[in-house]
Structures are given as structure tokens and as C-alpha cells.
């Protein structure tokens, strides 16, 4: 329940101020990294998922992979962990903007030039991930955020929770058949 978290400080470091979204995997909050007074987005994962054997090892590995992706068109992961109460979480940059899905739903089709610019930026971010042998596996308008800075549009690809590493050996050790995180 989102209200269980609001106004509280997660893991002694991240104050959770408001709910940004809710999905099958868990909740996303706007919050504050208290040590630096830095605005952040905090994604908490559904506790039922965290109970699964090997879940935290896989979660940790995928968070580590996603945090190594450094590109202007990929969301920056600052931190991840498991709080004393068992809550697993990611901490990311907080983006002021809205998803491509929200924009299209509200405004309908967009001009070709703008659509091409958005796709190009998302593709640059995904190309960077591919160069690191990371595949996103859930690219959709919901996971593409658009923000405006000084009159220019910037695109960030979000939610690398379904990442797949192109290293078969490691993959076999940590992923059971039919099991995906995301």
C-alpha cells in the first residue's frame, strides 16, 4: 500500500514524498536523498517478489548492470538495496517530464520530425546499452520519458528491470527457466 511508505524515510536515507506510479513490479515514488537534499525517484519492488529464492541476487545483479549504463538518454541509477524490513529498491534520477505514452494519449499523433527526434535519442541510449552487452527487453512508450530543458527536448529510456545480459554462462547460473524480473 503506497500510504504505508509516504512521508517515511526508506533505509534511513531516502524520504518518500509522493507516488509517481504503480505497476505489477511495485511502486515509484518522488523523494529526497536526505544526505544531499537531492530529489530522486525511488522504485520499491513488490514484497511478494522479494520472497522468491535467489530474487535478491538477481535483483542486485540487474541493478548493478543498469547502474553501469552511463548515457544522456538512459536514466541514471544512483543506488539500490534492501531495507531492514526487506523492501528492495532502486534510486534513480528524478526526471521532470512525462512519458511518451502520456503525451501521445493526451495529444494524439505527433509531427514526424518530432517523433523521429524522440526515436533517435531513445535509439542512441539503447545502442549504448547494446555496446555494454545489455538488452532492455521492454521498450515501449511508457518507458520513454521526455523532459524539456532550456527549450530543448531530452529523452531518457527507463526501466532496465528486464535487462538481459548477453553472457550465456552467467545467465544460466542465475536465471531459472521462464523467470524474468520486471
> How far apart, in whole angstroms, are the C-alpha atoms of residue 70 and residue 76?
7
DSSP per-residue codes, 80-96: EEE-TTS-EEEEEEPP-
3-class SS of residue 126: helix
Give the integer Cα–Cα distance in Å for 182 and 167: 19
Catalytic-residue membership of 4: no
8 A C-beta contact, residue 88 and residue 45? yes
Q: What are phi and psi of 83, to 5 degrees?
A: -75, 165
Choosing from 4, 138, 150, 159, the catalytic residue is 138
∠ Cα 164 170 173 (to 5°): 110
In this structure, what C-alpha cell is assigned to residue 60?
542486485
The answer to whether 114 and 152 have CB atoms below 8 angstroms apart is: no
Q: Which residues are catalytic?
A: 138
Amino acid at each position: 500500500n503506497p500510504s504505508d511508505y509516504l512521508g517515511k524515510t526508506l533505509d534511513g536515507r531516502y524520504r518518500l514524498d509522493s507516488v509517481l506510479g504503480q505497476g505489477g513490479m511495485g511502486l515509484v515514488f518522488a523523494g529526497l536523498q536526505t544526505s544531499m537534499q537531492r530529489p530522486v525517484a525511488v522504485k520499491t519492488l513488490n514484497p511478494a517478489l522479494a520472497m522468491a529464492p535467489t530474487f535478491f541476487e538477481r535483483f542486485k545483479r540487474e541493478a548493478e548492470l543498469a547502474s553501469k549504463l552511463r548515457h544522456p538518454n538512459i536514466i541514471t541509477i544512483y543506488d539500490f538495496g534492501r531495507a531492514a524490513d526487506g523492501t528492495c529498491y532502486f534510486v534513480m534520477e528524478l526526471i521532470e517530464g512525462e512519458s511518451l505514452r502520456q503525451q501521445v494519449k493526451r495529444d494524439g499523433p505527433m509531427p514526424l520530425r518530432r517523433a523521429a527526434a524522440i526515436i533517435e535519442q531513445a535509439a542512441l541510449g539503447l545502442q549504448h546499452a547494446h555496446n555494454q552487452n545489455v538488452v532492455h527487453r521492454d521498450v515501449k512508450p511508457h518507458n520513454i520519458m521526455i523532459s524539456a530543458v532550456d527549450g530543448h527536448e531530452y529523452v531518457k529510456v527507463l526501466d532496465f528491470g528486464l535487462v538481459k545480459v548477453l553472457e550465456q554462462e552467467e545467465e544460466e547460473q542465475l536465471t531459472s527457466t521462464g523467470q524474468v524480473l520486471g
